[in-house]
Amino acid sequence: MKSTSIAVLCCALSLLSFTVNAVISDKVKAASQSGKGAYSTKPQPSAIIVKWQNKQSQSVSASSVNPMGLVKRKSFKHLTGMEIYNVPAHLSAKEAAVLMARQPGVESAEPEVIFEVLAIPNDEHFDQLWGLDNQYDTDINAPEAWDITQGNEQIVIGVIDSGIDYQHEDLAPNVWQNPNEIPSNGIDDDGNGYIDDIYGIDTYNNDTDPYDDNAHGTHVAGTIAAKANNSIGIAGVAPNVKIISCKFISSWGWGTSAGAIECLDYFYDLKMNHNINIIATNNSWGGGLESQLLKDAIEKHNQANIAFIAAAGNSSINLDSFPQYPAAYDNENIVSVAAVNIEENLAYFSNYGTQNVDIAAPGVGIYSTIPGNSYEYFSGTSMAAPHVAGAYALVDSLYPDYTLSQKINLISKVGKTQPALQGRVGSGKSLALWTDDNSGSLNCQDSLSTTIVSPVLLNGGVKTAPDEELVVNLSVLDCGVPVIGQSYELFVGGEKVGDLNDAGLDADLTANDGIYSIAFTVDFIGQAPATISGVVSNVFYINSSVEPAKFEKTDYQYQEVVGTPISIYEEESKLIDLGFSVAWPLGTVDNLYISANGLFSADFAFGYGWNFPLPGGSSAHVFLPYHDDLHPANGQISYQVSGEAPNRQVIFDYKNVEYFYPDWDDESTISFQVVMFESKNEIHVNYKDLLDPGSYRSNGGSATVGYEYNGQAVQLLYNEPILDNETSYIVKAVTVAGYPTFNQFELTGGVARPGFEMTFTVNAQASTADNTVSLVSLDLGDGTVLSNPDLGEINHVYSQAGVYKITARISENGKSVYRSINILVEDLTEDEQQIIDLVTQSTISLVQSTPADYGLVSQSQHEIDIATAEQARQDLIVANPENYQLVSQAKYVADISTAEQARQDLIVANPENYQLVSQAKYLADIATAEQARQDLIIANPENYQLVSQAKYLADIATAERARQDLIVANPENYQLVSQAKYVADIATAEQARQDLIVANPENYQLVSQVKYVADIAAAEQARQELIIAKPQDYNLVSQSKYETDIADAELARQNLVIANPLNYNLVSNAQYLADIATAEQARQNLVIANPLNYNLVSQAQYTADILAAENARQALVIANPTNYDLVAKAVHEAAIADAIQLAKDNKEAEIDQNPAQFGLIKLNTLSLIDQTVIEALATGTHLLGSPQPLSEFETLFASVKFIWLYTDELGFSGWAPDQANRDKIVASGYQLLTEIPAGVGFWVKK
């Protein structure tokens, strides 16, 4: 049976068996007697929710509902005009909602949405309560936070879930009990509409006993507020707050939007009318379709300052692209929570999204309470959300005067920044109550966060229209408090638009409120990136669009066709190989998918039957001629191609196709056609019969008709019965005055493989003939961005396989249009590579064998010819160098030698003419002068303040001896003692002391050997220091003085020589180097000035000649690649493509000519088949060479009972020549064949 409910969000929770010890009610007994899984087959909606326009309309509701058999189940006290109605069995909830919405006085009506709990089983036993505290510090730091606050009992958190075990040992102290209700007296004491609602209510079973018969709600409650410091169980995040239960989830894990709305209304009433301080609700459920009435109920909580903490869901999807509810609603009081594991990485199952998910929290292997005083590990975003709900309670207890938004900021925009969460959740953070760097919810200081608060972003972008004003508001907060005095700039498409301000100017409504604003006029069509300077993760996209196309009514053009049947199941989408691309209004479609449910998509399969309003919120390229829940079993979907390339067309014919639900009668069918063209950017739709008498579905009443491209859409209708029978429409693109348009933007050539050149063609036209259009940029998706390339063909080579988004921007007088296409570049298959290698080698061998046939010369011959020509030129130059303004090396050397010798002879003969002195004279004069000076100094040293060496040594020796004699003779004058006296005195004193010690040793406690040695050493040291201090007293000279005197004497001599080097037959080093340098420079100048004289060529001339030769050779090679064993790249790639196609064609021809060689039986012509062949086949497997329709086989296969076929796509399918056996095939649940595809095995049963 087909499920009409929404898609299941997560896997089924394993059966949780538990025992409830306390007998509280029949519901408790039921919970304890059977294991209840949190998931099972999802139920169907059985009620609708109606919102009346006013009380007067509501009072006459009976006239509307009675004819349909609806029964009112519930009215709400605070959700004005909203009621719940049960639907009778003969109607579906969807059908009842559509019918009810058309009644006078009804504002809206919708089927109740089915929601599920968002938990996943987990058998890995992490350390208990790792989410609150663990050794790796990957927790929320609850113990540190508890030193600040543990909450208080005046704070109440509402748990909207499967109920709570309010008798659980670890929960009972913190379970809220209604102070205004007397238990079990059967009276509604507090007048809130519920009798004996002591612990809350149960909207699923319509009673006031919210006991948990599933376990999910109890687990959630324990994470929020299990009691701490009671020596049992666990501790919740906020162990001192109260929890109140509203049960709307069944024992099987399902609940409805009607039940959830009632819970919200109940909590709202308790807060507003009974002074119960409910500050937030935890909502660990979701996965349903969008419900506007549920959203309205959540908004009512926003007005009452009640936060709505929601689990993001467990489908591993991006909620920005594929929103699930209630997490993806845009109410300001919603905090959407993803799950992280103990490594603080996003859990594998967790949903994500930068716009629709705010924060992440622990959600894997979470240990908490379950009914019956038990505990268990669960995983899921269901477990992450209560961590945040508990955190919100702690924030509220610490900052009771903060606004709702400030409190939400402290749990959703501060915390631990996680690299793994960037681009995954809005804040990029995981929950932290306390951190060392003061970025926790309870100890936040200097933690800046920025959020684009408007426009509201969807999938990271905003939709607007060209020439419209767009206002961007950036919220800047520090720990939830607005920050002023900052500077920010807005850039769109890489160009600065302007500065944001918080001064109350222009678009900024309020000065100094931390909201920085800018308004600007959108001057483009398409999607352009926008960035704000100084903001982390600041890229968003502006999608400026008009309706991309329009539906024009035209003359009725339906054609009767006999097309190729398309074998397709309900809910299936199938790729159609037409052999050519079709031109849709906004682009060419290469891979066309057709859905059984009246929808066509480009490049991806989409077969889902529930229709939806456009745009669908994605970048898809989709045409919806009649999107409804259809069933093609007893009708036919076919296609027919006509015309010649490039003007072919294809007609897709939906003939007598049934609606799937709720009836199967022959009247519930529709017929329409879709016509697409190869070269005309239009789609034609011909509606023949859309009438379903008496049904809301008739003429589009439950369908969507429209066209969507890259988030832009035109919608002809959504659930409106406005289509007439026998009408036709043309769908074509829309142009905007003043903006250019793309005539063509597509991949037009090349091979989509890495390393192969691909050709993109971009053509555009201006809005008027007087204007011009230019291609401003082309982003090729691999980091290559071309600025201002010419329109037309643009070639590019991708180095790696992948999917690349190509974006072109055209402009006319400052008005721009962006458009993007996606291309797939795949690696070469092994077969393609083999073919390429084969063709390449074959081509190379052929060209190499006869290069002259291709106007080429072999490399070896080329090298020989070049060498010969080069040698001839060299010989010519050598023979006649003067003709080339050259001189032979021999002549150059000879002339240089002669000239050099002549100059040398001239200089040597007359050195004085060149201010030179001959070496002999120089040496003689130097020697004479030096000797004379030496003689003069030696003879009279005193004239030069010198002392002869002999006199100096004699005087030094005399003075030293005199001093020594004086000291020795009179040592006491120098406070010295002679060695003999010193030794005698020491000996005498030592002997006296020894005698004294020996005589009285106890008075001296003796002296150890160590001290004795130390005293001796000290005496020795004193003697050494005495000698060193006065060496002259001991006929000594200190080492330093000796070295100083020697150095002084040596330095004096050196200075004398250096000052007068000529006196010592020397030349100074400076003079020598200068003379050498002068001579060397003169020679270098001579050579540089006349390089030819030395058989040289200047570097500049050499470089120029080499470059000219190289350029000439390159030009020669490029002009004549074949002369060098080369092939032009374009020719090479074309040859490869031709070779690949030829190999495919040859293989197909080979199979067609000799199918038996490949184990095939060719049955593509009836003339080859006769009764004998059929008899011989009996039972067995056979293959077809081409597709075979079965409509003409009844007689031929008369003796056959069934034909069975199996493909991966279809599974088992069957066909029989008679209707009775065909009915058996359908009754067995198999698809009925209309043709046997080519190359697929089939079984014949007699």
Sequence-ordered list of residues with C-beta below 8 angstroms from that of 1128, at least 6 positions apart, any chain? 1121
Query: What is the distance between the terminal CA atoms of the chain, rounded to a whole angstrom?
Result: 32
**Of the listed 161, 213, 396, 653, which one is catalytic?**
161
* C-alpha to C-alpha distance for 1124 and 1138, rounded to whole angstroms: 24
Q: Are the beta carbons of 115 and 287 closer than 8 angstroms?
A: yes
Q: 530 to each of 460, 493, 535, 579, how far by Cα in Å?
A: 10, 6, 12, 40
Active-site residue flag, 57: no
Task: Say if residues 532 and 489 touch (Cβ distance below 8 Å).
Answer: yes
Distance CA 862, CA 852 (A): 12
Cα(410)–Cα(202) distance, rounded to whole angstroms? 32
Phi-psi region of 749 (alpha: psi -120 to 50; beta: other; left: phi over 0): beta
Buried/exposed code over 718-744 (b: 16+ C-beta within 10 A; e: otherwise): bbebebeeebbbbbbbeebebbbbbeb
Q: Of the candidates 354, 332, 336, which has an alpha carbon nearest to the alpha carbon of residue 282?
A: 336
Q: Which residues pair with 256 in a beta bridge?
A: 114
CA angle 772/774/780 to nearest 5° reads 160
3-class DSSP assignment, residue 940? coil
Q: What's the CA gap between 663 and 1016, in Å, rounded? A: 125
Long-range interactions of 1095-1098: CB distance < 8 A, separation 24+? 1095/887, 1095/888, 1095/889, 1095/892, 1095/893
Tokens of 463: 């939709």
Type of residue numbered 173: P
- Which of 382, 698, 728, 816 is catalytic? The answer is 382
Q: Which residues of 190-209 are buried (b: 16+ CB within 10 A; e: fewer)?
A: bebebbbbbbbbbbbbebbb
* Rounded-to-integer distance, Cα 477 and Cα 437, Å: 17
CA distance 902 to 895: 10
Residue 506 three-state SS: coil
Two tokens, residue 36: 């209840």
**671 among known catalytic residues:** no
The whole-angstrom separation of Cα 522 and Cα 661 is 45
- The DSSP secondary-structure symbol of 762 reads E
Which of 892, 890, 888 minimizes the C-alpha distance to 1094?
A: 892
**Residue 380, CB-side half-sphere exposure with 13 Å CA sphere:** 31
Whole-angstrom Cα distance, residue 868 to residue 875? 10
- Hey, which residues does 318 pair with through a beta bridge? 352
- 684 belongs to the catalytic site: no
H or E element at residue 417: strand 416-417
Q: Which of 32, 190, 212, 216 is catalytic?
A: 216
Largest distance between two CA atoms of the chain: 157
Cβ-count burial 393-425 (b if 16+ within 10 Å, e if not): bbbbbbbeebebbbbbbbbbbbbbbbeebeebb
CA 368 distance to own-chain centroid: 34
- The per-residue DSSP string of 604-664 comes to S-----S--PSP-SSS-EEEEEEES-EE-TTSEEEEEEES-TTS-EEEEEEEEEEE-SS--
Contact yes or no for 514/436 (Cβ under 8 A): no
Give how far the C-alpha of residue 120 lies from the chain's centroid of Cα atoms, to the nearest Å: 26
Catalytically active residues, by annotation: 161, 216, 382
